[in-house]
Copies of this chain bind each other. A is one copy, B any other.
Amino acid sequence: MLWEDVSVLDPSTQRPAVGIRDVAALARVSPTTVSNVLSGNRRVSAATRERVHWAIDQLGYRPNLSARNLRVRRAGLIAVAVPEIGVPYFAELIGHVVQAARERDYTVLIDQTEGRLEAERFVLSGMNPGMVDGILFSPLGIERVEYENRRDSTPLVLLGERISGGGVDHVAIDNVAAAADATRYLIERGGRRIAAIGHQEREGGGTAPQRTRGYRQALDAAGMSYDPGLVVPTSKYHRRDGALAMAALLDRGTRPDAVFCYSDLVALGAIHTLRERGLRVPEDVAVIGIDDIDEGRYSTPTLTTITPDKVAIARTALELLFDRIADGSREPRQIVVPHSLTVRRSA
């Protein structure tokens, strides 16, 4: 089929919009060839494709997106941008994304932003022009307003809780419920002084405040009082942060009988400190994490944790992204993916 080419006025300039015939004329090919390039037809030579894309860029041509499933500039690549690939949760999630993308014949490139604004803005700008067909983005530092004002049109789906609300395709677990489930489990197995490690104050919400909210909800529901002295903030979620936070709690004479950690790495760091101090896990202090990373299946003791369905997160995010690639104007969707409790030996 030939792409639709209705003569309309560009709403911003009130001049006739650029059409497929203009592109064809500049690229010195037939309109059918332009259409073939736009639909990703592989029979068009690389040189011709390049020329057509050049003409499209020159003219600022935007194909009619009512024709679904047709893509401009199929690069065969999508990007996943995360704060740190050294965090196993992200590495495992990306592994699932790579597998699911391969089924669709897409290659995945990964970008590590370290939460730096400059790097996150590079992601929001679509990275280099035309380089990738879409982006999965787990933001950390950037404010929602920047997302909403972005000028690039590269399809984008957000992962996690940092920026939520309307206007954005978005996939995450219910972090309030996940934290409440973890805390309730600690209460059910006898915890009475339950610490929480990993709180973070951030403008505009985010994952950590939601987990603190879930922790408090579970305490409330059990009629237990909230003790701010048992809540330890950490700036990051590495093993070291968990180890230092646990040491800080013990050093100020606070001895919890259970600890809810905001990530598995934090939990593994906390367990390290507890054992260094001669405390038994779970007999003296029970420890639970969130993430269900592979490490927790082999640690001593093995780690009880909240298991987000990482396969579902990866597949759902990719589906949203491919939908968005096919139809840039559809309504944004926010999808909540299930989680479950995985009981091993640390709690």
A95: Cβ under 8 A from any B Cβ = yes
**CB of A316 to closest CB in B, whole Å:** 20
In the bound complex, residues from chain B placing their C-beta under 8 Å from that of A128 are 75-77, 131
Assess the B109–A111 pair: CB atoms within 8 A. yes
A326 at the interface (CB under 8 A from B): no
A34 to chain B, nearest CB (A): 15
Query: Is A187's beta carbon under 8 Å from chain B?
Result: no
Is there contact, CB below 8 Å, between A112 and B119?
no
**A96 and chain B: residue at smallest CB distance:** B86
Question: Cβ of B86 and Cβ of A92 under 8 Å apart?
Answer: yes
Binds B, one of A5-13, A190-198, A268-276, A332-340: A268-276
A336 to chain B, nearest CB (A): 25
**For residue A84, which residues in chain B have a CB less than 8 angstroms away from its CB?**
95
Interface: A145 (CB within 8 A): no
Query: Does A221 have its Cβ within 8 Å of any Cβ on chain B?
Result: no
Q: Mark A7-46, 1 if CB is under 8 A from B, else 0.
A: 0000000000000000000000000000000000000001
Q: A36-78 toward B: CB 8 Å interface, digit per residue (1/0)?
A: 0000000000110011001001100000000000000001110
**Besides the known contacts A84-B95, A110-B112, 12 further A-B residue pairs in the complex with CB atoms under 8 A apart:** A46-B129, A47-B57, A50-B54, A51-B54, A76-B128, A79-B109, A85-B95, A86-B294, A88-B91, A109-B111, A239-B294, A299-B299
Q: Is the CB of B54 within 8 A of A239?
A: no
Q: Which residues of A contact B (CB under 8 A)?
A: 46-47, 50-51, 54, 57-58, 75-77, 79, 84-86, 88, 91-92, 94-95, 98, 107-112, 114, 119, 122, 127-129, 131, 238-240, 243, 268-269, 271-272, 275, 294-295, 297-300
Is the beta-carbon distance between A300 and B300 smaller than 8 angstroms? yes
Q: In the complex, how many angstroms separate the beta carbon of A101 from the nearest chain B beta carbon?
A: 10
Are B269 and A239 in touch, CB under 8 angstroms? no
Cα A88 to Cα B294 with chains together (Å): 11
Residues from chain B with Cβ under 8 Å of A119 in the complex: 107
In the complex, what residues of B have CB within 8 A of residue A77's CB? 128, 131
Give the Cβ gap from A287 to chain B, nearest Cβ, in Å. Answer: 12
Whether A131 and B131, one on each chain, are in contact in the complex, defined by CB atoms closer than 8 angstroms, is yes
- Whether B239 and A295, one on each chain, are in contact in the complex, defined by CB atoms closer than 8 angstroms, is yes
CB nearest to A270 among chain B residues: B298
User: Most B CB atoms within 10 A — which of A94, A238, A239, A300?
Assistant: A300
B92 touches A297 (CB 8 A): no
Inter-chain contact B298/A272, CB cutoff 8 Å:
yes
| Contact present for B85 and A94 (CB under 8 Å) | yes
Query: In the complex, what distance in Å separates the CA atom of A134 from the CA atom of B118?
Result: 22
Smallest CB–CB gap between A265 and chain B, Å?
9
A117 CB, min distance to chain B CBs, angstroms: 13
